[in-house]
Amino acid sequence: MSLLTTKISPGPFLRLLLPSAARPLSSAAPASGGASAEARTQKLERIADELLSLTKAERDDYSILFRLRLGLQQWIPAGGVPTPGAGARLAAEAMNPAEVKEKTAFDIKLEKFDTAAKIKVIKEVRTFTDLGLKEAKELVEKTPVVLKKGVTKEEAEAIAAKLKEVGATVVLE
């Protein structure tokens, strides 16, 4: 990966940053073409003011658009929102393909159930929780609710299958 570097003379930037009275004499605009230099400075100041007035979301969109116009698509992540240090991270990912991490702990969430099967759902909830009849009934009536957290994949799939058999809609998160 090659990086392009260019040296920019500080003259134009000093004109933007320093008020005219505080500018050094060497950075004063020449007599010929002074009006065009002043017009450029005013244009740059206007652009800078407009960029500073943008919201954070608008600045993000602008930075993406600016990079696309410059032909720097490889530096924009797939989600479209650049993050600090994205260039180094993307370069590291290109060197070492990311390994897909498989989720090991699941939460069992009861989304909804048939009202006719409410008693069966409550009984089934009691089988895999340590709740009494009243507590299980209250929990089921709070639907949608997480019934159990941090369960292994096999156990979660078994519980979800049993709940689906009795008429409940279950989601593993």
Sign, Cα dihedral of 6, 10, 13, 17: positive
Q: What value does the mean pLDDT take over residues 2-29?
A: 52
Q: Does 61 lie in the same domain as 118?
A: no
The single-letter code of the amino acid at 173 is E
- 117/159 same-domain check: yes
Rounded to whole angstroms, the Cα distance separating 17 from 173 reads: 53
> Are 77 and 128 members of one domain?
no
Q: How far apart are CA 36 and CA 52, in angstroms?
A: 24
* 104-120 pLDDT per residue, tens: 788 889 898 888 889 99
Range of the domain at 113: 106-172
Tell me the range of 33-42, 56-65, 134-143 where mean pLDDT is highest.
134-143
Q: Tens digits of per-residue pLDDT, 24-42? A: 544 444 545 567 888 888 9
CB 168 within 8 Å of CB 121: yes
Tell me the whole-structure pTM to 2 decimals. Answer: 0.42
What pLDDT is stored for residue 71 in this prediction? 76
Going across the sheet that includes 106-113, the strands are: 145-151, 106-113, 168-172
Predicted local confidence at residue 89, as pLDDT:
54
Which one of 82, 115, 141 terminates a domain? 82
Same domain flag for 117 and 68:
no
55 lies in some domain: yes
76 and 15, same structural domain? Answer: yes
Q: What angle do CA 118, 122, 128 make, to 5 degrees?
A: 145
Specify the range with the lowest mean pLDDT, choosing from 39-43, 97-101, 131-135: 97-101
Q: Total structural domains in the chain?
A: 2
User: Mean pLDDT over residues 3-26, rounded?
Assistant: 53
* Residue 48 within any structural domain of the chain: yes
